[in-house]
Amino acid sequence: MAVFSRWDGKRVLWVGLGLVIAALIGLALFRYVGTLLFAIFVYYAIRPLYRHLDRVIDHPNVTTTATILFVVIPMVAVAAYAGVVALRELDQFLTASDLEAYRSVFQPYLRLTQEGNIDRLREAFRGGSGGSIADVLRQGVPDVLGRLRSIAGFVFSILARLFLMLTILFYLLRDDEKLRRWFYESIDHDDEIVSFTESVDDDLETVFLSNLVVIAVAAVTAVVTYTGLNYVASGGPVVGTPVLLSLLIGIGTLIPAVGMKIVYVPYGLILLGFALTTPTPLWHPIAFFGLTFVVVDTIPDFFARSYLSARSGVHMGLVLLGYFLGTLAFGWYGLFLGPIVVVLAVHFAHMIFPALVSDLLGE
């Protein structure tokens, strides 16, 4: 081909060096692909807020630092705390029900919420197990130190990934315009490539930001509603696991047509069954269904879903498949990789594939 006829030894050398550098960078990032994808997700989710603040502050370093300190870190902390509370509620639910056999599936995560050997050692001192203090120390301290070493390694791994995520996010927010200009100048502002990348960029922001808003609004509304319902209820709480149920409801909003009903309708029917077969008041399931339908199920639809459907250029059913198949194929980070692949595929099919086919058929 004419392209390769212009490739002399110097160009081949530079291309080979570039491929080696790209391979080394790819290998380094592949080990932390989940962290990278999470940083990309957070970047698109908070980019509109960052750009709004940047217009006011007009200092990229200050704006980026303020965005991370006052938005990202609290958001990650709240999500982590909600996850821990949800794990505790899940552990209690599995233990109290006939599903205790399934605890082994979640054991690596449930172990984080359970009491450690430090509490057991304290109880040994307090309860007087019949041995001397030296015996207790000999038996308990090595085990405790081993657990502490394991916990320290786990905590360090989490902190290292958090630091890496925040570093990637910082430079994405601050230097994305410089990166975009460098790329467009490198390709000599090719109209086809510029149009493709801009369309992908816009839709990724819409998908990630809008779905995050839908999930957050639904989950927070559900937590407030169920906590308030439990507070005013007599004869025990109406919702036994409010945080866990609220998180599941938030995730359920991603499902088209059915939405969060796939979560709260079965739960409400269980409450109704308890009310009909036990002394549980009948108003518990009635109040649960009424508040959930009016408050929890209505607000996200009117507040966020219409915004998502109006702005996104990608069919919501395909986005759902991206979330679902991405998680099945790649694990937890597929939750972020799946939608990226879907957006790339949709715009490639619309903008690039027809031109390629036309060129091939024309030849």
- Alpha-carbon span 197 to 105, nearest angstrom: 41
305 and 253 Cβ atoms separated by less than 8 Å: yes
pLDDT at 21 over 90: yes
Global pTM value: 0.71
Per-residue pLDDT of 23-50, as tens digits, reads 998 888 888 898 899 899 889 988 988 8
Question: Given this model, what pLDDT does residue 40 score?
Answer: 92
Q: What local confidence, expressed as pLDDT, does residue 128 receive?
A: 47
Mean pLDDT for the stretch of residues 104-131: 49
Could you identify the residue written with the tokens 């938005």? 71
pLDDT of residue 125: 42
Please compute the mean of the pLDDT values over residues 237-249 and round it to a whole number: 83
Q: How confident is the model at residue 129 (pLDDT cuts 50, 70, 90)?
A: very low
- By percentage, how much of the chain surpasses pLDDT 70? 73
Q: For the chain, give every domain's residue range.
A: 36-186, 196-363
What is the per-residue pLDDT for 348?
A: 92
Dihedral sign of CA atoms 131, 134, 136, 139 in order: negative
Inter-residue contact 311 to 48 (CB < 8 Å): no
Task: Name the region of 151 (left: φ>0; alpha: ψ -120 to 50; beta: rest).
Answer: alpha
pLDDT at 82: 67
pLDDT at 68 over 90: no
Residues in contact with 58: Cβ distance below 8 Å, sequence separation at least 6, in sequence order: none
Q: Which of 15-19, 114-118, 150-154, 241-245 has the highest mean pLDDT?
A: 15-19
Average pLDDT, the chain: 78
Q: Is the pLDDT of residue 98 over 60?
A: no
d(CA 297, CA 290): 10
Calculate mean pLDDT across residues 290-312.
73
Rounded to whole angstroms, the Cα distance separating 310 from 313 reads 8
Phi, psi for residue 63 in degrees, rounded to 5: -65, -45
Q: Indicate if the pLDDT at residue 362 is higher than 60.
A: yes
Instruction: Please report the pLDDT score of residue 358 as a whole number.
Output: 82
In tens, the pLDDT along 245-273 reads 888 888 777 665 677 888 888 888 888 88
| Residue 46 amino acid letter | I
pLDDT top residue among 211 and 126: 211
Residue 127 has pLDDT above 50, yes or no: no
More confident residue, 56 or 100: 56
pLDDT tens-digit readout, 319-359: 878 887 887 888 878 888 988 999 999 999 988 888 888 87
| pLDDT on residue 278 | 80
What pLDDT was estimated at residue 198? 92
User: Percentage of residues in the chain with pLDDT exceeding 90?
Assistant: 15
